[in-house]
Structure formats: C-alpha cells, structure tokens
Amino acid sequence: MKKLLIVLALVSAVSVFSASAGRKSYSERDIDAEYFPRSEFTLSYGAPTLLELITIKQRFSGDKTTFEVNSRNHLYFGAAQFGYNFCITPAFSIGVNAGISYARAELWYRDNENITEWTKACRSGMTTITAVVCAYYTWYQEDKLELSSGAHLGYAYQKEVVDQKAPQNEHNGGVHHKFAYHLTAIKVRYGNIVGGFAELGFGYRALVSLGMSVKF
C-alpha cells in the first residue's frame, strides 16, 4: 500500500510539473508572439514632398536685374512609396523604402527694362525616384494602436524634362542626383496583421502620407 501511495505521489508530482512546464512553454510562446511579426510591408501615398517644393523653381540664367522670372501653375502628383521594415525589438525597426513622385510647373519671365508683359518660357516636369534606409521607434502601443517616429536617409534620382526653350532660358532640364531624407514626426498605425497608417513629417516622402501595411 505504501508503495502504491509513493507511486501515486510521484505520478502526481510529475503530472503537476509537466502541466506547469506546459503552461510555461505556452506562456513563452505567447511572449514570442508579442515579438512577432518581425516583418512589415508598407504601401503609401502622400503629397506634397520636399523635393517637389524646392526643385521646380526659377532656373533662368543671365542678369537678374534685366529679366524678372517666376514659376506658376504648379502641379504636384505626390509620392507613392513601397517599403519593408524588420523589427529588431518590439519598439525598434529598420528597413528600406523606395518611391516615385512627379511634379510640374511653368516658368515665366518679363523684361524689366522695357516693362514687357509676362511671357511663358517653358514648362518643366520633374520625376523623382528615391531609395533610402529607414529606422522607426514605437513609443506608444496599446492594443491595435501604435504611435512611432522615424528617420529616412538615402539617394534621389531626378529627371527633369523641359517642353520648350525660350531665348532667355538656357536651362534644358536633365538628370540631377540629390541626397534624400525624411523625418517622420509621428506615425499612427491601427490594426493587427493588416493595418492602416497616417504619417506627418518633412522631407521627400510627403508632408502627409496615408497607407496600409501587412505584418507577418
């Protein structure tokens, strides 16, 4: 009888230990699930971008006291962005991002000496393709809501096409290579695996961006 009680006690102890170990393993899997998904794909659109605002401008050469120039009829198509982020920790992620944007403006001039009427010199269209690395820090997370800030650094390839050339305008467009950057003051994301987000920042992406992302 004593042997039976000892065996039952040992079996009970093993059962309790196994159940406890099982619960711990399940708990560990829950903790791991909080660290995952590690990968995130993003797709967004925003406008206007910093490059759109500063690269289509007055590009006339010659004596500025003779000819007064300005740009008119600006048209911004915004920036479409696609990116991938990898979460190193639950709060910090790094990634890569690529995007394309287009903007257009008309350049006008007039002769200050003869007080002539404004004359259209040309129309300039700028296509910008960017490739950057980025980093985000999530400083608030509650249920499906995430608030984060980030920074982007990289390269911008710009191709400018001018549709016509006036005698006073020696600018014919061409290819430009620029340093691309963007600072995201705040990014608001809502959702689990699939979520929508909005960004407010300054740089090549856009002043305001809207998009969606998938985590896995």
| Same structural domain, 23 and 91 | no
Q: Please report, for residues 36, 54, 159, the alpha-carbon distance to residue 216 in angstroms, rounded to integers and kept in the order given.
A: 7, 38, 36
Any idea what DSSP says for residue 52? H
pLDDT band at 137 (very low <50, low <70, confident <90, very high): very high
Name the domain count of the chain.
2
105 located within any domain: yes
Q: Please, are residues 171 and 105 in contact by the beta-carbon 8 Å criterion?
A: no
The answer to whether residues 92 and 17 belong to one domain is: no
- The whole-chain average pLDDT of the chain stands at 77
100 and 9 in one domain? no
Examine the domain organization and report whether 46 and 80 are in the same domain.
yes
Together in a domain, 178 and 211: yes
The token pair at 200 is 């407010």
> Are 9 and 74 members of one domain?
no
More confident residue, 189 or 171: 189
Q: CA 109 → CA 69, 76, 160, 168, distances in Å?
A: 4, 22, 19, 8
Write the CATH number for 75.
2.40.160.20
Q: How far is CA 54 from the centre of its chain?
A: 19
Q: Does residue 77 share a domain with residue 20?
A: no
Give the whole-angstrom CA distance, residue 214 versus residue 144: 13
- Whether the full predicted model's pTM is greater than 0.75, yes or no, is no
**CA-CA distance, 205 to 201, in Å (whole number)?**
8
Residue 57 and residue 8 share a domain: no
Which tens digits make up the pLDDT trace of 14-39?
A: 343 333 444 333 344 444 545 457 89
Provide mean pLDDT across the span 157-186. 80
Q: Are residues 141 and 181 in the same domain?
A: yes
Q: Which structural domain, as residue segments, surrounds residue 54?
A: 38-215
- Same-domain status, 49 and 122: yes
Domain contains 33: no
